[in-house]
Chains A and B, each alone.
Chain A
Amino acid sequence: MTAYRPALRVLSALALGAVIGILIYGLLAAESEKAVGLVLLAVALTVAAGLRTGVLPRLARAAGSGPLLGSVALAGVVLIAVFHDDPFVLLLVARALLVLVACLGLHVQFADAGVPNFAGAAFFGVGGYTAAVLGAGEIPHLLVLLASGAMAAAVGSLLLLPLLRTRGHYAALITIAFGLLFRTFLEVNEGLGGPQGLKLPGLRILGFAFNDDRQLLGLEVSGFAFYCLAAGVLALGAVWLVRRVERSWLGVSLDAVRLDETAAACFGISLGRWKIAALTLGNAIVGVAGGLSAMMVGFIAPNNFTFQESLVLVSILLLGGLGNLAGLAAAALIVVWVPEKLQPIQEFRYLLFSVLVVLVLVLRPGGLVRRRARQAFGSAAA
């Protein structure tokens, strides 16, 4: 292990953050299809060149994950400042961040415990509907967001019994069935707005209304900029939490359950306990993201939480590489933004994702980015 000097760490982190920031800026700023195509080409070339020469991995290693995360957050803030009056771009950014948070929740289930969940959009919806029902009242919105997570975890516990009795394809089918049931339940439930859905008030924390456009330092700042910040904070928190879970005995036990149930059982690891833990934690994370997303958009309907949306979340996981959070973030950006930016492919996006997922599974079964070995978490590392 090489120890890097602090200055070098900061510089590496800033350099990497700048590269990521510039690429993302290009993608967000590009208007015409030709420009978007060129930017995507630039992204592909940069990543390919960076990996081929080993510059990108070396920078990442030199920076270390903490400074790197900070520098990416800084790049995010700069980007939000640059696009401060462009609600469309800001909405895209916030949506990608919230989708990333939801995928982090699913990551705990799929990639750590090995429990499939093809009802990600349904749990996202549980969070959203909870926010819609509770957010209208006097309850502080931070508590409403926590309740969204708790509700998603609680609804998810309906699936525990069947999920603990099955594995693999059968467990996946149970979650698919739940996702379909959830949508039907919403459509026939007039109390929740039926097929028309519900309107939500905007997020308001300590009197600060996130929906309002404001004058800040002489700039006209769109309300979505504040949602971007909130989503960013949530995403950082989720990354922090998931990383800590993975780099601890919790992660070791979840890995043991995923990789070999028989061996795990022979070393005292309760399969049920760990699967329940992963499902509950994952669904709670998805639910919080769903709650914030619903408040940001201001309106939810059953159509937002279809099986296809769940599949989009799963395809992000598969593309990003199960077990790699950086890959996951990249995949979330690509899958959320590219169809929005390239309108002609909008209609074909499910088709394209399917082809992309099949290609990845055939050519790189581990996902675009490989699973990283757990870093040591002994006292020297912590």
Chain B
Amino acid sequence: MTGTAPLLSTRELTRHFGGVVALAGLDLEVRRGELLGLIGPNGSGKTTFFNVLTGIFPPTEGDILFAGASIARSTPQAVYRAGITRTFQRSRLCLELSIFDNLAIGAHGRLEHGFVFNVFRRKALGRQADEIAAAGADLLEVFDPPLARRLHEPMAGVAMIDRRRVEICRALMSRPRLLLLDEPSAGMTADETTRLMDDLLEVRRRFGELTIVLIEHAMSVIQRVTDRCVVLNYGRKLCEGTFAEVSSDPEVRRAYLGLR
């Protein structure tokens, strides 16, 4: 345990959907700069945790502290401005738009949105578009250099693994302090998953300051990239520790990892 305050902590975080308790008093800490794996069986509340964190659903009870300030009951827009961005389990890119457009959506917070600027000051707008294009190409370059050259192609023509990468880049475009990745390996082959892991490690190497929470079912990914894991069950924390510690916990082994 280091002495610094955690970047994110939740207290008694609870969320009900009618009679269903998706989060049941979750206490969880995310330390600065770590890559935290969030695991647990289907329905254990992982994605709900992300949705409550990003303001899509307000918590029924409890509090969320991010960098010292409460963000429970903030709007998604305020959570974004505070420095948290995410990807979605089922890709939510705008397929009709180009890669560039999708990345620009990620950078929304630092774009100029005035009517006069956008309609009349086209030179300045063009320069800003160039900046966004350069920043986007830089990010894509980390994952896949050829992708960086396809910036103005429509998203719909991009392969699944590259869509995942663009989605992560879109989240990174805002230069977040906390990145939430919701099962990036979903729907990928084993080979693609391996490549995506390399990508994640590369992102960590490039953006040392970045804190990441990763929801993942592929244990190979969790084992290789995470510093620490939290296991959820029935909306509660079952146990936490390094992957080795968590995976040797008899309860976790028996119930969730299918190991004997």
Interface residues of A (CB under 8 A from B): 241, 244-245, 248-250, 252-253, 255-256, 259-260, 262-270, 277, 371, 373-374, 376-382
Bound complex: CA A33 to CA B122 (Å): 48
- A selection of 5 A-B contacts at a CB cut-off of 8 Å is A252-B101, A265-B55, A268-B76, A379-B126, A379-B129
B252 to chain A, nearest CB (A): 31
Bitwise, B112-151 to A at CB < 8 A (1) or not (0) is 1101001100110111111001000000000000000000
Report the nearest A residue to B152, measured CB to CB.
A376
Bound complex: CA A244 to CA B54 (Å): 33
Which 10 A-B pairs have CB atoms at the shortest separation, nearest pair first? A379-B126, A382-B126, A268-B80, A248-B118, A265-B76, A263-B92, A378-B129, A259-B94, A382-B122, A249-B111
- B126 near A381 with CB under 8 A, answer yes
Bitwise, B68-98 to A at CB < 8 A (1) or not (0) is 0000000111011100011010001110111
Chain B residues contacting A373 (CB-CB under 8 Å) are 96-98, 152, 154
Bound complex: CA A371 to CA B113 (Å): 24
| CB neighbors of A among B150-197 (8 A) | 152, 154, 170, 174
A251 to chain B, nearest CB (A): 8
Which of B93, B96, B105, B125 interacts with A269 by CB under 8 Å?
Answer: B105
Which of A253, A270, A376, A379 interacts with B123 by CB under 8 Å?
Answer: A379
Report the nearest A residue to B80, measured CB to CB.
A268
Which of A260, A268, A377 interacts with B94 by CB under 8 Å?
Answer: A260
Chain B residues contacting A241 (CB-CB under 8 Å) are 119
Chain B residues contacting A256 (CB-CB under 8 Å) are 94, 105, 108
> Beyond A255-B96, A371-B96, A382-B122: 20 further Cβ-contacts under 8 Å?
A245-B118, A248-B118, A248-B119, A250-B118, A250-B119, A252-B97, A252-B101, A253-B113, A260-B94, A264-B105, A265-B55, A266-B54, A266-B85, A267-B106, A269-B77, A269-B108, A270-B77, A376-B152, A378-B133, A382-B125
Asked if B100 is at the interface of the complex by the 8 Å CB criterion, the answer is yes
Chain B residues contacting A277 (CB-CB under 8 Å) are 115
Chain B residues contacting A270 (CB-CB under 8 Å) are 77
Bound complex: CA A250 to CA B54 (Å): 24
Report the nearest A residue to B103, measured CB to CB.
A252
Chain A residues contacting B123 (CB-CB under 8 Å) are 379, 382
Interface residues of B (CB under 8 A from A): 54-56, 75-77, 79-81, 85-86, 88, 92-94, 96-98, 100-101, 104-106, 108-109, 111-113, 115, 118-119, 122-123, 125-130, 133, 152, 154, 170, 174
- A249 near B133 with CB under 8 A, answer no
Chain B residues contacting A262 (CB-CB under 8 Å) are 56, 76, 92
Bound complex: CA A22 to CA B136 (Å): 46
B169 to chain A, nearest CB (A): 12
Chain B residues contacting A260 (CB-CB under 8 Å) are 92, 94
A65 to chain B, nearest CB (A): 14
- A249 near B113 with CB under 8 A, answer yes
Do most interface residues of chain B lie in helix, strand or loop, or is the interface mixed? helix
Instruction: Knowing A244-B119, A249-B111, A377-B129 are in contact, say whether A267-B174 is a contact too (CB < 8 A).
Output: yes
Determine which residue in B80, B81, B105, B122 has the highest number of CB atoms from chain A within 10 A of its CB, and name it: B105
- B108 near A253 with CB under 8 A, answer yes
Chain B residues contacting A380 (CB-CB under 8 Å) are 126, 130
A173 to chain B, nearest CB (A): 26
A284 to chain B, nearest CB (A): 12
Bound complex: CA A267 to CA B231 (Å): 28
Chain A residues contacting B174 (CB-CB under 8 Å) are 267-268
Which of A249, A263, A265, A374 interacts with B125 by CB under 8 Å?
Answer: A249
Bound complex: CA A230 to CA B123 (Å): 29
- A265 near B75 with CB under 8 A, answer yes
Chain A residues contacting B105 (CB-CB under 8 Å) are 252-253, 256, 263-264, 267, 269
Chain A residues contacting B96 (CB-CB under 8 Å) are 255, 259, 371, 373
Instruction: Knowing A249-B118, A378-B133 are in contact, say whether A267-B80 is a contact too (CB < 8 A).
Output: yes
- A379 near B75 with CB under 8 A, answer no
- A245 near B122 with CB under 8 A, answer no
Which of A248, A267, A381 interacts with B108 by CB under 8 Å?
Answer: A267
Report the nearest A residue to B92, measured CB to CB.
A263
- B80 near A266 with CB under 8 A, answer yes
Bound complex: CA A380 to CA B113 (Å): 21
- A377 near B101 with CB under 8 A, answer no
- A268 near B81 with CB under 8 A, answer yes
- A265 near B56 with CB under 8 A, answer yes
Chain B residues contacting A249 (CB-CB under 8 Å) are 104, 111-113, 118, 125, 128
A35 to chain B, nearest CB (A): 41
- A374 near B108 with CB under 8 A, answer no
A244 to chain B, nearest CB (A): 5
- B109 near A379 with CB under 8 A, answer no
Instruction: Knowing A265-B75, A266-B85 are in contact, say whether A379-B104 is a contact too (CB < 8 A).
Output: no
- B104 near A377 with CB under 8 A, answer no
- B56 near A263 with CB under 8 A, answer no
Report the nearest B residue to A240, measured CB to CB.
B119
Chain A residues contacting B80 (CB-CB under 8 Å) are 266-268
Bound complex: CA A267 to CA B126 (Å): 22
Bound complex: CA A154 to CA B50 (Å): 40
Chain A residues contacting B125 (CB-CB under 8 Å) are 248-249, 377, 382
Bound complex: CA A174 to CA B76 (Å): 27
Which of A244, A250, A269, A374 interacts with B97 by CB under 8 Å?
Answer: A374
Report the nearest B residue to A268, measured CB to CB.
B80
- A245 near B101 with CB under 8 A, answer no
Chain A residues contacting B100 (CB-CB under 8 Å) are 376
